[in-house]
């Protein structure tokens, strides 16, 4: 990973381009678009929306070529310093064959998103050596009512706008996975309910360091075994759980068990030096306990440390993770720390 390319850090007054690489949701909830953009502008940045980002074509924001062209267009535009996703989806894998990875390599800039953006993060890293950022999306986190969580904002700016490494991750004091219906504009009526954070759990103790790589576990599986899959040798793997068919519940425990089996069968667990698991979305205590048991079973033959319940992914607030950057895990001091910066 010595040839990894870091983008320039974001500065106030810079322009951010927003894309919809998969889902057409931005075109269906204009009040979320408006509030998300206002939050970005409040942070001191300008906004440009890509040509197809607000399109609605069934369950997509455009054809694979149209969606890929939006990303290519923004990477090629010297005036745009970062690219954010409106939302995830399930079809970013369709645009990979149309991306100009050589052009992107020669025009490095910040790419931010989570969930289905995992496919793009992995591909941009493996094909263009680019450090990208697993973090908030515009419709979800930036458009939070009444404002983006301070915790999310602070870790985002530490990741993409600071000259220093992110440093030690401090656990959030509160969290939420409540879903309010955007189509009924329930999110306009009140802020979401939050719960006290009970903290991390070390499923397996130990100390290790490595370059962090990961994302949404269901999205990872899309590109496993393809040329877009990155080299995970000696890395710290993080993963988190998205919504299932029911948008108020997370992907089922049984499905996660099968995805972990996929990772194990692929040889991934033989390569990695540590594992970090995001706080599960939409899980009750029984499901959470079952998930922990499954993780223990799936990793019984390996001795890397495992940290569970971190502010990553589909619950809020969240940290922003520069992928491919060196981190340290230490259960004795309860430490998860970024010791390398992701921008220059």
Render pLDDT for 69-107 as a digit per residue (tens, 0 to 9): 999 999 999 999 999 999 999 999 999 999 999 999 999
Confidence class of residue 246 from pLDDT cuts 50, 70 and 90? confident
| Residue position matching structure tokens 């790419």 | 111
Instruction: Give the pLDDT mean for 45-74.
Output: 98
Domains of the chain and CATH, by start: 15-165 (3.40.50.10740), 168-338 (3.50.30.60)
The whole-angstrom separation of Cα 276 and Cα 255 is: 18
Confidence class of residue 172 from pLDDT cuts 50, 70 and 90? very high
Cis amide linkage into residue 250, ω under 30° from 0: no
Residue-wise pLDDT for 289-332, tens only, equals: 999 999 999 999 999 999 999 999 999 999 999 999 999 999 99
Q: Name 107's Cβ contacts closer than 8 Å, sequence gap at least 6.
A: 75, 76, 78
Helices (H), 108-163: 118-128, 150-160
- Whether residue 264 contacts residue 132, with contact meaning beta carbons closer than 8 Å, is answered with no
**How many residues in the chain?**
344
pLDDT at residue 180, as a whole number: 97
Residue 80 CA to chain centroid, in angstroms? 21
pLDDT at residue 245, as a whole number: 85
Give the neighbor-by-neighbor strand order of the sheet with 80-85: 46-49, 15-19, 80-85, 110-113, 133-134, 321-322
Measured between alpha carbons, how far is residue 321 from residues 28, 74, 147, 312 in Å?
Answer: 29, 22, 21, 8
């Amino acid at each position: 990973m010595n040839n990894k390319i870091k983008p320039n850090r974001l500065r106030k007054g810079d322009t951010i381009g927003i894309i919809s690489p998969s889902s057409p949701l931005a075109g269906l909830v204009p009040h979320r678009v408006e509030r998300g953009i206002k939050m970005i502008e409040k942070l001191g940045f300008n906004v440009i929306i890509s040509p197809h980002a607000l399109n609605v074509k069934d369950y997509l924001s455009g054809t694979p070529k149209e969606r890929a062209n939006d990303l290519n267009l923004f990477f090629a535009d010297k005036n745009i310093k970062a690219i954010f996703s409106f939302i995830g989806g399930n079809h970013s894998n369709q645009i990979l064959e149309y991306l100009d990875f050589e052009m992107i390599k020669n025009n490095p800039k910040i790419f931010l998103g989570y969930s289905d953006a995992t496919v793009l993060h992995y591909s941009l890293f493996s094909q263009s050596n680019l450090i990208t950022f697993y973090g908030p999306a515009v419709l979800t986190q930036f458009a939070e009512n009444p404002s983006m969580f301070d915790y999310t904002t602070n870790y985002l700016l530490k990741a993409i706008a600071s000259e220093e490494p992110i440093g030690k991750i401090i656990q959030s004091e509160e969290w939420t996975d409540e879903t309010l219906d955007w189509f009924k504009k329930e999110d306009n009526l009140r802020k979401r309910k939050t719960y006290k954070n009970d903290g991390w759990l070390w499923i397996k103790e130990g100390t290790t360091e490595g370059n962090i790589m990961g994302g949404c576990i269901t999205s990872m599986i899309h590109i496993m075994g393809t040329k877009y899959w990155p080299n995970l040798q000696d890395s710290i793997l993080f993963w988190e759980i998205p919504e299932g068919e029911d948008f108020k519940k997370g992907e089922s425990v049984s499905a996660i068990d099968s995805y972990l089996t996929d990772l194990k069968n692929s040889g991934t667990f033989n390569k990695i030096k540590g594992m970090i698991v995001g706080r599960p979305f939409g899980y009750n205590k029984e499901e959470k306990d079952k998930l922990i048991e499954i993780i223990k079973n799936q990793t019984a033959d390996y001795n890397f440390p495992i940290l569970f319940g971190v502010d990553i992914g589909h619950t809020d607030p969240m940290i922003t993770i520069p992928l491919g950057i060196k981190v340290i895990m230490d259960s004795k001091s309860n430490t998860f720390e970024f010791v390398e910066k992701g921008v220059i």
